[in-house]
Amino acid sequence: MQASDTIVAVSTPPGRGGIGIVRLSGRQALDLARKLLCKEDFAPEPNRVSLHVLRDPETGEELDRALVTYFQAPRSFTGEDVIEFSCHGSPVLLLQIVDALLRLGARAAEPGEFTLRALANGKLNLSQAEAIRDLIEARTAAAARQAARQLGGELSATLQPLKDALLELIVPLESSLEFVEDDLPDLEIERLSARLSDLVRRMDELAATFRAGRLLKDGLKATLVGRPNVGKSSIFNALLKQDRAIVTDLPGTTRDALSEMINLEGIPVLLTDTAGVRDSADAIERMGIERTRRAIADADLLLVVVDGSEPLTAEDRELILEVAQSRHLMVANKCDLAGFSLGRLRETVANGAEIIAVSARTGQGLEDLRRAVLRSCSAPESATDSLLLTNARHYDLLRRASDALATAQRLLQERASEELVLVGLYDALRYLGEITGETTPEEILTQIFSTFCIGK
């Protein structure tokens, strides 16, 4: 009886590429490949590539010449027998090959099904499976690198010493409860407490990388605001270095909030251009303005643009007041013009606030603006140096673990009985375990017996 069937899918992204891969996974993978190659004796060496002709199973007509690789269970991505056909990249051709395999008895894989099988066969742990999803969705190279590190098990490897340290704390406390009659060393409360603080600090440090990690993964929403004609769309385009928004001399012609993803040092920034923030009788423009207010509420960072070549208008001042409570940067545009001055702006803007002078036309100051954006979200200097926490679930669990430990430490200091201190330690261990796998009571006992000589 077949526990699970054999699944097939094109596993390279849709679209025309140089090469397209069709992946087949399951017990019958090899059988189906034999039929597709019309070679009953096809017995490939695992992990070796060989060139073969793929044929339509019914007509025998040649479909493609492909490089065929066999990954033998359990040493494959899914843990099952896997065959990969590297074919020529035409979408039509790839579909034909998939179709041939379907007719031979394979089933079309559902989204994520290969990963699910890898999970089921213990080839991946939970955080690695999450990393695969992140990897697929990564929008910048840096985000992809982080996901790849996590997939490589780096998160589990980072957590393991924390878990080990926790176990080392649990062991003496647990032993002193369970083996009262044994000749165990006395508990050194101060030392245990110091180790607990150290552990809390390490967890908090890891948790703190989430801010940067989330930026990498989810990116930052930066929105350009300002009255019409100050040059928002021009800046938007300059940053994008491509013509997307229509630029006119007529006030109020940029009606839609246009969004585009840009890549600032590996951080995906969703840049949004808005219509001017101006009370307007024009219905169409009003709709744009409504959208703008929503965009303001939505943004992680506002780029408040004024025209530095003109005196500030009432409208400018109003906007400056309005954004005071949100995270924002002041941008004075048109620094290429003769009348440009930062002085007027300095008087209005709260003391010391940074003002960036730019010219959308010449590109002057845009680099400063980019850096200011990065600084404002306190992105790490080089986001790719260390492992970052990118997943909210992991962050939440780590915070809970750290809180549980802090409580345990307080109890330890109050000289509460060990079983109460242990509650927090076990909770923390369980939270950490939840991120990757689990720690069993058996592991704890094993530690106890290897640490202490116990038993009568």
Ligand X SMILES: Nc1nc2c(ncn2[C@@H]2O[C@H](COP(=O)(O)OP(=O)(O)O)[C@@H](O)[C@H]2O)c(=O)[nH]1
The residue of the chain with the least Cβ separation from ligand X equals 231
Q: Does 233 bind Mg ion (CB under 5 A)?
A: yes
Residue with tokens 């010493």: 161
Residue type, 110: E
Choosing among other proteins, Mg ion, ligand X, none, which partner's interface includes residue 430 (Cβ < 5 to 8 Å by kind)? other proteins
Residue for token pair 């307007």: 280
Tell me the closest approach of the beta carbon of residue 34 to other proteins, in angstroms: 22
Residue written as token pair 């969004």: 259
Give the x-and-dash track for 87-126 against other proteins (CB under 8 A): -----------------------x--x--xxxxxxxxxxx
Does 163 bind ligand X (CB under 6 A)? Our answer is no
Least Å distance, CB 377 to Mg ion, is 24
Non-local (6+) Cβ contacts of 85 within 8 A are: 21, 22, 23, 24, 33, 36, 54, 66, 67, 68, 97
Which of other proteins, Mg ion, ligand X, none does 249 bind, CB closer than 5 to 8 A by kind? Answer: ligand X
Among 213, 231, 268, 424, binds ligand X (CB under 6 A): 231
Taking the alpha carbons at both ends of the chain, their separation in whole angstroms is 51
What ranges make up the beta strands (E) of 110-257?
A: 220-225
Residue 16 interacting with other proteins (CB under 8 A)? no
Does position 223 interact with ligand X (CB under 6 A)? The reply is: no
Q: Which does 7 bind (CB under 5 to 8 A by kind): Mg ion, other proteins, ligand X, none?
A: other proteins
How far is the C-alpha of 17 from the C-alpha of 10, rounded, in Å? 12
Quick one: 218 or 427, whose CB is closer to other proteins? 427
Euclidean distance between CA atoms 173 and 214, whole angstroms: 37
CA within 13 Å, CB half, 361: 9
Distance from C-alpha of 181 to C-alpha of 202, rounded to nearest angstrom: 35
Amino acid sitting at position 100: A
Q: Which of Mg ion, other proteins, ligand X, none binds 53 (CB below 5-8 Å, type-dependent)?
A: none
With contacts defined by CB under 5 A, name the span among 62-70, 249-257, 349-357, 424-432 that binds Mg ion. 249-257
Using CB under 6 A as the binding rule, whether residue 334 contacts ligand X is answered as yes
Instruction: Name the residues that contact ligand X, by CB under 6 A.
Output: 226, 228-234, 247, 249, 254, 276, 333-334, 336-337, 359-361
